[in-house]
């Protein structure tokens, strides 16, 4: 009965196909503090997602643990829109492979994992004509795992490939009498893993300039649960098969091009431009019965995302301090108008700081960041704040 209650709650709770936490906030405290940049110069575990080619910049193996939280204050059509608070844990590692000879300092692997503290995957299926915040209602309520490898092809050129894994829920629920005539339920549910590709390249044009290019394949976490009723003599009516299906999380295919400039006096400036294929945005939820009228297409359009970040670094051995800031603009892919899938342009201001300590055998990095997201739309408006920290330890 618990499984049945879960299934009906999924069907009747008023799916929203949002994007993942790394796509919404960025991955890693440094990137998140610098306007979600890093395609051109990220060199830790965050490169697993941002650009796997950067993994080869890791000098020593490092494990990183962190925590991210977000709190929302949003409005939809002039009324307060409650959005669940985000709380999630982050784990990552960047590990250079200790080969010698011609392969020395040429290979590195990275892993990264984000998980909400309360759930692994959440989806809600409101009525198709019910207005909702298409990309924010449940965006960061899905766990994601990544793994990648970076290869230094030349001392100034590296490439990398990886995968992002998400879970898809499939199953069946049968309602019918048992041997004693009592009405019971039998539920079978499985988590299937879906993969999306990540790839990137990076070139050091000069000591003061790096260029990076990253590709992310389309990724989505879906759910598909069928509910059948076989009551026999208990109820002579034949009930239709109900199908609770849709997409709980969707990241579009995207490309990002970025340049990182190493200015004098420990200043790094990163500027980039991303393209997101939101035109492939699927229906968040499907019809529960096959005879229902077809649902209208979301009719989303592709977007571009400009990003900029700056980092100031100052070293007092054995301590190095970092101050960071950035900005990015997320154009809304929604066509606007009376569509139930509501979204808005989003301005994001970021900031953060870092502390590196290298003393004898001890090497660790403590980083923190904050983000302020402001929605600027006719139907959707409001603000939300994101905060996080990470602790990295060299092995």
pLDDT for 227 beyond 70: yes
Do the strands 132-133 and 341-342 form a parallel or antiparallel pair, or are they unpaired? parallel
Task: For 154-188, give one letter per residue: b (16+ CB within 10 A) or e.
Answer: eeeebbbebbbbbbbbebbbebeeeeeeeeebebe
Average pLDDT rounded to a whole number, residues 69-91: 91
Q: Is the pLDDT of residue 238 over 70?
A: no
The first and second tokens of residue 273, run together, are 């431009």
Confidence of residue 236 (pLDDT cuts 50, 70, 90): low
Cβ neighbors of 13 (< 8 A, separation 6 or more) are 124, 125, 126
pLDDT at 122: 52
* Across 237-251, 328-342, 369-383, least confident range: 237-251
Quote the strand ranges of 332-379, DSSP E: 341-342, 345-359, 362-376
Mean pLDDT over 348-364 rounds to 93
pLDDT tens per residue across span 291-305: 666 677 788 999 999
More confident residue, 104 or 342: 342
Distance CA 258, CA 55 (A): 16
pLDDT grade for 137, boundaries at 50, 70 and 90: confident
Q: Which two tokens stand for residue 168?
A: 């898809």
The pLDDT, as a whole number, for residue 12 is 32
Pick from 69-78, 140-149, 175-184, 245-254 the range whose average pLDDT is largest.
69-78
Pairing of strands 341-342, 345-359: unpaired
Contacts of 155 (CB under 8 A, 6+ apart): 204
In this predicted structure, the answer to whether residue 10 has a pLDDT above a threshold of 60 is no
- The CA-atom distances, in angstroms, between 381 and each of 9, 74, 141, 375, 394 are 28, 6, 21, 5, 43
pLDDT of residue 338: 79
**Domain range annotation of the chain:** 2-263+280-295
In this predicted structure, the answer to whether residue 42 has a pLDDT above a threshold of 90 is: yes
What pLDDT, in 10s, does the model give residues 306-341?
A: 999 999 999 988 999 999 999 999 999 998 877 888
State mean pLDDT over 215-234: 77
Given a cut of 60, is residue 234 above it in pLDDT?
A: no
Give the helix/strand (H/E) hosting 234: none
Q: Of 307, 318, 302, nearest to 363 (Cα)?
A: 318
Q: Are 16 and 137 in contact (CB under 8 A)?
A: yes
Mean pLDDT in the chain? 85
For residue 59, what is the enclosing H or E element?
Answer: none
3-state secondary structure of 371: strand
The yes-or-no verdict on residue 4 having pLDDT over 60 is no
pLDDT band at 283 (very low <50, low <70, confident <90, very high): confident
Confidence check: pLDDT of 29 > 90: yes
pLDDT at 127: 60
pLDDT at 112 (0 to 100): 95
Which pLDDT does position 168 carry in this prediction?
Answer: 63
């Amino acid at each position: 009965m618990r499984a049945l209650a879960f299934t009906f709650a999924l069907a009747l709770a008023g799916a929203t196909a949002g994007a993942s936490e790394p796509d919404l906030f960025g991955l890693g405290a440094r990137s998140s503090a610098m306007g979600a940049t890093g395609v051109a110069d990220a060199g830790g575990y965050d490169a697993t997602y941002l650009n796997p080619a950067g993994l080869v910049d890791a000098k020593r193996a490092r494990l990183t643990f962190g925590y991210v939280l977000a709190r929302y204050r949003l409005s939809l059509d002039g009324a307060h829109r409650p959005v669940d608070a985000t709380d999630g844990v982050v784990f990552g590692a960047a590990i250079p492979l200790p080969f010698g000879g011609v392969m020395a300092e040429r290979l590195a692997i990275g892993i990264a994992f984000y998980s909400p503290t309360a759930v692994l995957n959440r989806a809600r299926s409101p009525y198709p004509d019910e207005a909702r915040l298409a990309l924010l209602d449940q965006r960061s309520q899905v766990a994601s795992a990544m793994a990648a490898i970076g290869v230094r092809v030349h001392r100034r050129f590296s490439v990398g490939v990886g995968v992002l894994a998400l879970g898809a829920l499939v199953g069946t629920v049968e309602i019918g009498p048992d041997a004693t005539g009592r009405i019971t339920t039998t539920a079978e549910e499985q988590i299937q893993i879906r993969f999306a590709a990540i790839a990137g390249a990076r070139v050091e044009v000069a000591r003061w300039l790096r260029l990076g290019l990253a590709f992310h394949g389309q990724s989505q976490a879906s759910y598909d649960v069928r509910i059948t009723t076989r009551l026999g003599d208990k109820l002579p009516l034949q009930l239709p098969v109900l199908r609770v299906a849709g997409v709980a999380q969707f990241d579009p295919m995207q490309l990002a091009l970025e340049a990182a400039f190493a200015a004098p006096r420990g200043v790094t400036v990163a500027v980039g431009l991303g393209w997101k294929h939101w035109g492939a945005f699927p229906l968040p939820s499907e019809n529960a019965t096959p005879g229902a009228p077809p649902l209208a297409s979301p009719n989303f359009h592709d977007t571009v995302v400009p990003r900029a970040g700056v980092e100031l670094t100052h070293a007092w051995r054995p301590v190095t301090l970092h101050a960071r800031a950035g900005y990015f603009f997320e154009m809304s892919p929604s066509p606007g108008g009376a569509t139930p899938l509501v979204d808005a342009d989003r301005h994001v201001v970021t900031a953060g700081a870092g502390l590196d300590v290298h003393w004898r055998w001890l090497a660790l990095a403590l980083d923190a960041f904050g983000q302020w997201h402001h929605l600027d739309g006719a139907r959707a408006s409001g603000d939300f704040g994101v905060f996080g920290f990470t602790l990295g330890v060299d092995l």
